[in-house]
Amino acid sequence: MEFGVFVPQGWRLDLMSVAGDRAKWETFTRVGSALDRAGWDSLWVYDHFHTFPRKEIEATFEAWTMMATLAQITERARIGQLVTCVQYREPSYLAKIAACVDVASNGRLNVGLGSGWYEAEFGAFGYDFRTTSKRLARLEETCEILTRMWRDELTTFEGKHYQVHDAVCEPKPLQRPRPPICIGGSGRKVLLRIVARHADVWNYLGSIEDFPETLEVLKGHCRDVGRDFDEIKVTVALGAICHETSDDLETFFGRIAAQGHDRDRVLKITRCKGSADRCAEILREWKTAGADGFVFYFHDIASVGKGDSQAEIFQRSVLPTV
């Protein structure tokens, strides 16, 4: 099993307790470096421009700026995005950025790709929020362009949505034949078919109840396109809270009070919660159902280093028994 974690970025209000933009950035770099030293398998960021679930006048650091920084301040953990919205950057430009980050990280980059979903953010930053089918078509063309530009000396592509002509992408990524492409989402008819054609990693976002059936749909798409399903690593993104007592839970919510989250909402959307034994049991259930790894989001991630942050508790008390 592989275990990844989101670093503090600001998007989910996880830096609101830190005063000043420079201090927020230093919190990100401090935590990212600490998580790498602690032995997490991978470090992840979101690709969003302002805070969520509510818009605040607060720093949200840009995904690929963070990727380039993580490439320099870490030594062993893989780094990635869950996921890069393909409509926020032209595919040819994204290919160039990713290739450079793969070189900078000495071949530790995962390229997460998604079609985009946050309509309010699209509008705020001047992007057209197209229909689902058109966004997915752009996702598939992006996969094709990235693969070609990372492989070929000159790339020409005439798609319905994107075109490139004799494009040069140098340096090439260090990873051969390419950095792993991770596609996130659970749309069964189209999205999972794109996963079957192009992805090295699929990140699942739904419930454990729907997981086995969704896996079977993906396996069916793999058969249809002639892909070996076992070539695709399956990961699950989970919010997580480990608490042995009610006092532990109160301590956790006190720590994240500055984020202004609704307590009931946090508990509702957190799919891995309870005692250390219960959290480990939940992860083992996912593992039995077919998960190869997890990416955790901890609301108190900016507190790493104090010994009692959720990331540290999970690594110490939960993950060794999964």
Q: Please count the residues of the chain.
A: 322
- DSSP class of residue 77? S
Query: Which residues, other chains included, contact 6 with Cβ-Cβ below 8 Å and sequence gap of 6+?
Result: 43, 44, 45, 46, 82, 295, 296, 297, 298, 301
CATH number of the domain that 28 lies in? 3.20.20.30
- The first and second tokens of residue 267, run together, are 């508990």
What is the domain range of residue 184? 2-321
Q: What is the pLDDT of residues 227-270, one digit of tens each?
A: 999 999 999 999 999 998 889 999 899 989 989 888 999 999 99
Least confident stretch, 136-140, 206-210, 227-231, 244-248? 244-248
Q: What is the pLDDT of residues 156-172, one digit of tens each?
A: 999 999 999 999 999 99
Q: Strand ranges (DSSP E) for the chain?
A: 2-6, 42-45, 78-81, 84-85, 111-114, 155-158, 163-167, 181-184, 201-204, 233-242, 272-274, 293-297
In sequence order, the β-bridge partners of residue 85 are 114
What angle, 0 to 180 degrees and rounded to 10, lies between the N-to-C axes of helices 191-198 and 211-225? 60
Q: Stretch 218-223: mean pLDDT, rounded?
A: 98
Structurally, the chain folds into a number of domains equal to: 1
pLDDT attached to residue 306: 85
Q: Residue 307: pLDDT above 90?
A: no
